[in-house]
Structure 1
Amino acid sequence: MTEEGDRLGDRVEALESRVAHQDRTIEALNEVVTAQWATIERLKREVEALGERMEEAVAGPGPVDRPPPHY
């Protein structure tokens, strides 16, 4: 029975080791996904701001036919 108990203990230990490794991997992946999500949100805001600036530039006044103020 001791040999069987030893094998069972070894199997449990191996499973615990695998679970710990998987937990670390999942946590690392979660950190990567969270960082990517933040980057995507920042880039979406920048694209929206650039779109608004483009619309303002297109709809803005045309060129002015007077010399700059330093003349």
Structure 2
Amino acid sequence: MADNSENRIIALEETVAHQAKTIEELSDQLTEQWKVVEQTRAKLDRLTDRFLNLEEQSLEAPAITKPPHY
């Protein structure tokens, strides 16, 4: 009976160790993905600002009254 309990405890310890390793790996992956998300968000913000600036500049351009071939 004691041998069976010892085997069960060993199996539980192995399971807990495996789960702890898996949780650590998932946490590392989540950290890396969060960095990518933040970099992408920053790039999107820069591109949005650039787009808005270009849009403002195009609105300020003088209107062409004559076609270029005249």
Question: Given the two structures, how large is their TM-score scaled by the length of structure 1?
Answer: 0.80
The whole-number CA distance in structure 2 between the counterparts of 1:14 and 1:22 is: 12
Identical amino acids, percent of aligned pairs: 33
How do residues 24-43 of structure 1 correspond to structure 2 at under 5 angstroms?
24-43=21-40
How do residues 4-23 of structure 1 correspond to structure 2 at under 5 angstroms?
4-23=1-20
SS at structure 2 position matched to 1:44: helix
Which amino acid counterpart does residue 30 of structure 2 have in structure 1?
V
Which amino acid counterpart does residue 20 of structure 1 have in structure 2?
A
Question: Given the two structures, how large is their TM-score scaled by the length of structure 2?
Answer: 0.81
- Post-superposition offset of 1:22: 0.2
**Structure 2 alignment gaps of length 5 or more:** 63-70
Which amino acid counterpart does residue 62 of structure 1 have in structure 2?
A
Name the structure 1 match of 2:54: 57
Encode CA deviations 1:32-69: one digit per residue, 9 max, x unaligned. Answer: 11111110011001000000000110111427xxxxxx
The count of residues paired between Structure 1 and Structure 2 equals 61
